[in-house]
Amino acid sequence: MIKKSFNTFVHKRFNRWLKRRIPASATQRLTNRNIFILPSGFGFAYLVFVFVLFLLGTNYQNNVVILLSYLFASVFISAMLQSFFNLSGLKLHCHQQVSTYAKQQTHFSLTIDTDKPRYSLVFQFPHQGKHLQKKVNTGTAVVNIPYCSEKRGVHIPGRLRVSSEYSLGLFTCWTQLDFGCEVITYPQQKKFQNLHSSICAHQDDEHGINVVEGGDDFGDLRQYRQGESLSQIAWKQLARGQGWLSKTNQQQQGNDVWLTLDNLPSTDLEVKLQMLCYLMLEQYQQGQSWAMDLGSEKVPPNTGKKHLTHCLTMLAHYPSKKMSAQAQNEE
Amino acid sequence: MKSDRKGLKRLFTFSYPRKNKASGKKEPFTLDRNTLLFLLVAQVLNFASLAQELAWWMLAIISLCLLWQVSIFLKKVIKPSKIVVNLLSVAGCVLLIISARQLGLLATMVHLLCFAYVLKLFEIRQRSDFYQIVLLSLFVVSSSLLFSQTLYFSFYVAILVIVNLMVVFLHFAPSETLMATGKRSVKLVLQSLPLAIFLFIVFPKLAPLWQVPFAQSAKSGLSDSVSVGDIANLALSDELAFRVKFEGSAPRYSQLYWRTIVLEQYDGRTWKRKKPAKKRYKENLASIKIKAKGESLNYQVIASQSYQRWLFALGVSDVDRSAQNGTGIIIKEDYTLYNKETITKTLNYNVFSYLNSPLSLKLSEQHKKDNLQFPSSANPRLVAKAKELNRLYSNDIDLIQAVLENFNEDLYHYTLRPPILFNNSLDQFYFDTKAGFCEHYASAFTFLMRAAGIPARMVTGYMGAEYNPIADYYSVYQRDAHAWSEVWLEGRGWLKVDPTAMINPERIERGFSSDLLRELSLYSDNYFSLMRYKQFAWINEIRLQLQAIDYQWTRWVIGYSAKKQTDLLAKIIAVFSLWKIVVGSLVIFTTIYLVLKRVYKPKTKAKQHEPHQQCYLQALAVLVKNDINKPKEMSAEQFALYVSTEQPNIAINFTRFTDLYITLNYQKNGSDEQFKKFDEMQKLFKTLKICSLKNS
């Protein structure tokens, strides 16, 4: 019990120290200020081996064996330097924001800038999968670091651990970098068989039919497929020489679907949000427009990818942006 | 202790201890194919370093296992199950236990090591298995140095170390070419070498901490019984017996009789060392005291490992007891040197020889009798010849002279391959075949002397030496093995008599004659021996050069003792004086530090700020005091807006100030106008300062 509280105390102190030592930044350069190095298990075994060899040489008064043991000992030190220089001087840049559905693998793109080849780099976010990059060539490279959030919300993935055991595996050389990244996690993508938008949807009179009235400019355009109704063709765009496109929103103009959180048939908020997400994606895939009502916040009807992202982000933030940020802080 | 380390580890991995260890272990570990192939190659090379020390059955097991591995690699066979490997290991261990007595402790351990090493390759399941194999490889390679430490072998071991490190490099960077990996590995070793050499020179040499079993191996060189033909066989060997470094001038070639073993017992077939009577003394008898007069000849002998105990010296000799190994050497009654322990590695010792001092002026009756003894049935014709000689010469010296002259005048032939003698009969040699090598002449002569009533004995050892002008030392090879006689004369002690000198004087003056060399090249099976190319000057030059390097290696690395270390350090301190060394090393280390710092410093261009930029930066510094920080990504204009909202009282001034700064920064105006603007900027800065002071 005491040990546990002591450990948490130490961790807190250490994390605070780490925050001061390696502050958050989108671009990080690895120097002796933020690189840690310690012998690995193999490194300790190697030291024991060197000592045994020294004893062997001494007991047999065999100078060549003694010389060899000294050589191995100084190889240990050279390996330490090599290990350090394999990380030192790396320049890392990470995208600030990533969005994904809960329990779905996504990745952060990390840009690596290096002036010499680097070997055997392992990237890992806390409690996440590893990414092993066997070699990074001189120049700029991009690596994808896997990330998967368990829960809906806005998450901070924590410090990225970049480690390497190159050159001989005698040392683990690592760093913990805070890129100030954020993961916006949408509700989990699930299929609800009997759920149809009509269950929660109601045609809203207040918001009227005229929301999309602005016309074709609002419409989401996609490649025209043979057999589609002529009325769907975006004539304006065709006239401008943009090719055969069809408007996806035209048919649905006038009967906007309102997706209302409160009307969904579940008691669990998370399930409700998942349903909402499912319905929204259905609408999106069918090219229909929808509006969203979360009670406190409302999104007017619209179609398209941008609209979808906006709505999903709101779901991620639900109940509200500020509150979820608070919850994050408390964590 | 263990929990402490865990705590420490957690502390350094802080916020997230690894998910759980069990799942981490389960992830399959497979070696890259290239790495695996290279590991196999390295393993074969590693075993080659120890092959000579391994029994044939162990070599067979190892080669079978390696073949098995290769077929697994080629996917011809599947990996053996755990049970098969376990059965194999049990069978091998049983074999080892059975043969342990015969092998000796050290060899058994080496066998065990090799066996474990070859079996370990069957079970690479985790990363740690791979690491274990790496450490085992390094250990196998290192342990081979217990059996040989010559320069060439050490060089081979160094290459093996590089190869084994390459395996690890390949594991971490499998995409690299073999060449690049090799380069990296060589570079690592070369980088590490200076520190290793420094440690070697400076780190105190410790005495053995506990007793260890020594290697048992085939004895080489002279043995303590000689029958005719033995030395002729040795003459085919190019193996190095020992090296000598003379202090001051070396004696003449013909004086280089390295006495090694004195053989006083003759049974009609072989000459043997006289076995000490058990009652009188044990094997480890005390050294006799040397009472010698005259000038001494000082030299150092570096004996190669022979797995025997004999050592080498010229004439009446004393060993320098103060030097390394000095106390381990016994001087026997017959003035030969004898090491207390088997010579399993190179041994240096310093000798004072008194070439003009007589050996044993007094001879006990018993001893005299021993040296006159011969089996009555042996060689009747020689006995008759002795009687006749006795009749002809009353003086012993005249008699000896006559026998020697007879060797010279008669048609005696000096050859490496004499006709085979029936029952080792000296009669047959002396009267019929008349062809033989040194031991034939020496034994016939000695026998004749004994039959004629003059105390005489066989001495074996080495004759001559090869001078290496590059490193100024002499080497003596097994082919220089020689046998001669000693006769005891009243008032003169034991005198050396070499009948070979009468038949083949060249052998005594310069070494092997060209005839003999030709014979040697015919019978020797060592086709690569550089000795065979002695006639080519440039090859000989290279040979001498290589030997000189080997000599220095032997002297300074293999023979680097605690005494040499203290001497060397004292010398260094005497030359440079202590404070100079301290100051010098400080200077060197600081320069290295500064150079490294310069080299590895992140390259940032030192920015030269222009006056207006400096002014702006000063203004920023003033604002910082009022808790207004300018984030880097914010432009000057944006910052001006921000300041206006935060501190409205300086808004106008600061906006104008910023404006001026931007125009100066980005617009090229005439120098007059620029100066005016800068002036205004400075004035504004002053007012800003006053305002912000008021604020705070």
Does some domain include residue B306? no
B156 touching A (Cβ < 8 Å)? no
Asked whether the beta carbons of A89 and A30 are under 8 A apart, the reply is yes
Asked whether the beta carbons of B355 and B251 are under 8 A apart, the reply is yes
Check pLDDT > 90 for residue A314.
Answer: no
d(Cα B678, Cα B672) in Å, to the nearest integer? 10
Q: If phi over 0 gives left and psi between -120 and 50 gives alpha, with beta otherwise, what is residue B130?
A: alpha
Check pLDDT > 70 for residue B406.
Answer: yes
Amino acid at A294: L
* Segment B202-211 long-range contacts (CB within 8 Å, at least 24 positions apart): B202/B569, B203/A70, B204/B562, B204/B565, B205/B560, B205/B561, B205/B562, B205/B565, B206/A58, B207/A58, B207/B562, B208/A58, B208/A59, B208/A60, B208/A61, B209/A55, B209/A58, B209/A59, B210/A59
User: Mean pLDDT: which of A25-29, B63-67, B614-618 is highest?
Assistant: B63-67
Cβ contact, residue pair B11, A167, below 8 Å: no
Domain hosting B678: range is 611-695
Same domain? B596 vs B616: no
d(Cα A134, Cα A155) in Å, to the nearest integer? 29
Same domain? B59 vs B107: yes
Task: Please name every residue paired with A113 in a beta bridge, in sequence order, or none if there are none.
Answer: A91, A140
* Segment B602-605 long-range contacts (CB within 8 Å, at least 24 positions apart): B602/A29, B602/A31, B602/A89
Check pLDDT > 60 for residue B692.
Answer: yes
**Closest to B208 (Cβ–Cβ): which among A18, A42, A61?**
A61
Does some domain include residue A317? yes
B168 touching A (Cβ < 8 Å)? yes
d(Cα A215, Cα A221) in Å, to the nearest integer? 12
**pLDDT at position A216:** 42
User: Mean pLDDT: which of B13-22, B74-83, B593-602 is highest?
Assistant: B74-83
Place of tokens 């010279």: B408
Two tokens, residue B301: 């002998």
Does some domain include residue B43? yes
- Cβ under 8 Å to B: A residues 15-34: 15, 18, 29, 31
Same domain? B627 vs B680: yes
Phi, psi torsion values for B597, nearest 5 degrees: -65, -40
Q: Is A240 exposed, middle or buried (0-12, 13-18, 19+ CB in 10 A)?
A: exposed
Same domain? A249 vs A164: no
Asked whether the beta carbons of A216 and A236 are under 8 A apart, the reply is yes
Rounded to an integer, the average pLDDT of A233-251 is: 64
Same domain? A174 vs A288: no
Q: If phi over 0 gives left and psi between -120 and 50 gives alpha, with beta otherwise, what is residue A104?
A: beta
With the CA atoms of B539, B540, B541 and B542 taken in that order, what torsion angle do they form, in degrees rounded to the nearest 10?
50
Does some domain include residue B82? yes
- Per the model's pLDDT, the better-predicted residue between B145 and B324 turns out to be B145
Place of tokens 């001051």: B248
pLDDT digit string, tens, across residues B182-236: 999 999 999 999 999 999 998 998 888 887 777 777 777 888 888 877 787 787 7
**pLDDT at position A217:** 43
d(Cα B301, Cα A270) in Å, to the nearest integer? 91
Same domain? A157 vs A26: yes
Check pLDDT > 90 for residue B45.
Answer: yes
Same domain? B78 vs B182: yes
Which chain B residues contact residue A63 at CB under 8 A? 149, 200, 557-560
Cβ contact, residue pair B149, A62, below 8 Å: yes
Same domain? B666 vs B577: no
**Best residue of A18, A44, A69, A71 to probe chain B, by most B CBs closer than 10 Å:** A71
**pLDDT at position B230:** 79
Q: Which strands sit side by side in the sheet containing A298-302, from one edge to the other? A: A257-260, A290-293, A298-302
Show the CA angle centred on residue A30, arms to residues A24 and A34, nearest 5°.
Answer: 65
Closest CA to A273 of A259, A285, A257: A259
Same domain? A85 vs A206: no
- Cβ under 8 Å to A: B residues 304-363: 345
Distances in whole angstroms, Cα of residue B415 to Cα of each of B20, B231, B236, B336, B507: 80, 12, 12, 28, 12
d(Cα B265, Cα B252) in Å, to the nearest integer? 31
**pLDDT at position A218:** 44
**pLDDT at position B323:** 75
Same domain? B67 vs B170: yes
Please list the active-site residues of B.
Answer: 438, 482, 498
Domain end: B148, B181, B202, which one? B202
Same domain? A233 vs A92: no
Check pLDDT > 80 for residue B414.
Answer: yes
Rounded to an integer, the average pLDDT of B139-168 is: 93
Task: Please name every residue paired with A94 in a beta bridge, in sequence order, or none if there are none.
Answer: A110
Asked whether the beta carbons of B164 and B134 are under 8 A apart, the reply is yes
Closest CA to B155 of A171, A61, A67, A127: A67
Domain end: B172, B202, B232, which one? B202
Same domain? B589 vs B651: no
Name the domain count of chain A. 2
Same domain? A269 vs A123: no
Same domain? A28 vs A157: yes
> Is cis: bond before A319, omega within 30 of 0?
yes
**Closest to A74 (Cβ–Cβ): which among B12, B168, B196?**
B196
Phi, psi torsion values for B161, nearest 5 degrees: -60, -45
DSSP B211: -
Check pLDDT > 70 for residue B363.
Answer: yes
Same domain? B113 vs B189: yes
**pLDDT at position B16:** 40
**pLDDT at position B2:** 41
- Per the model's pLDDT, the better-predicted residue between B589 and B217 turns out to be B589
DSSP B567: H
Cβ contact, residue pair B173, A135, below 8 Å: yes
Mean pLDDT, chain B, as a whole number? 83
Check pLDDT > 60 for residue A195.
Answer: yes
d(Cα B229, Cα B438) in Å, to the nearest integer? 9
Does some domain include residue A6? no
Domain end: A153, A186, A219, which one? A186
pLDDT band per the 50, 70, 90 thresholds, residue A221: low
**Closest to A71 (Cβ–Cβ): which among B174, B193, B206?**
B193
Check pLDDT > 50 for residue B11.
Answer: no
pLDDT band per the 50, 70, 90 thresholds, residue B346: confident
Which chain B residues contact residue A38 at CB under 8 A? 12
A79 touching B (Cβ < 8 Å)? yes
3-class DSSP state of B335: coil
Same domain? B595 vs B675: no
Domain end: B150, B168, B202, which one? B202
Q: If phi over 0 gives left and psi between -120 and 50 gives alpha, with beta otherwise, what is residue A161?
A: beta
Domain end: A136, A159, A186, which one? A186
Check pLDDT > 60 for residue B399.
Answer: yes
Amino acid at A107: H
ipTM score here? 0.76
**pLDDT at position A54:** 95
Same domain? A255 vs A117: no
**pLDDT at position A226:** 64
Rounded to an integer, the average pLDDT of A80-104 is: 87
Same domain? A206 vs A78: no
Cβ contact, residue pair B203, A70, below 8 Å: yes
Which spans in B104-177 are helix H? 105-120, 127-143, 151-172
**pLDDT at position B195:** 93
Rounded to an integer, the average pLDDT of A97-118 is: 87
Same domain? B624 vs B580: no
pLDDT band per the 50, 70, 90 thresholds, residue B318: confident
Rounded to an integer, the average pLDDT of B238-264 is: 89
Check pLDDT > 70 for residue A255.
Answer: no
Same domain? A23 vs A146: yes
Does some domain include residue B583? yes
Q: Nearest C-alpha of chain A: how many angstroms from B363?
A: 41
Does some domain include residue B143? yes
Domain end: A129, A160, A186, which one? A186
A132 touching B (Cβ < 8 Å)? no
pLDDT band per the 50, 70, 90 thresholds, residue A283: confident
Rounded to an integer, the average pLDDT of B2-17 is: 42
Asked whether the beta carbons of A234 and A216 are under 8 A apart, the reply is yes
Same domain? A161 vs A298: no
Domain hosting A174: range is 18-186
User: Is the C-alpha dihedral spanning B108, B111, B116, B119 positive or negative?
Assistant: negative
Name the domain count of chain B. 3
Instruction: Count other C-beta atoms under 10 Å from residue B374's C-beta.
Output: 19
Chain B, nearest residue to A166 by Cα: B172
Cβ contact, residue pair B200, A78, below 8 Å: no
pLDDT digit string, tens, across residues B415-454: 888 888 887 788 888 888 888 888 889 999 999 999 999 9
**pLDDT at position B279:** 43
Check pLDDT > 70 for residue B552.
Answer: yes
Does some domain include residue B530? no
Check pLDDT > 70 for residue A292.
Answer: yes
DSSP secondary structure string for all residues of B219-259: --S--SEE-TTHHHHHTT---EEEEEEESSPPPPGGG-EEE
Same domain? A256 vs A281: yes
Does some domain include residue B579? yes
Closest CA to B64 of B119, B107, B113: B119
Same domain? B153 vs B191: yes
Expressed in percent and rounded to 5, the helix, strand and coil fractions of chain B are 55, 10, 30
The helix or strand, by DSSP H or E, that contains position A118, with its residue range, turns out to be strand A118-124
**pLDDT at position B525:** 57
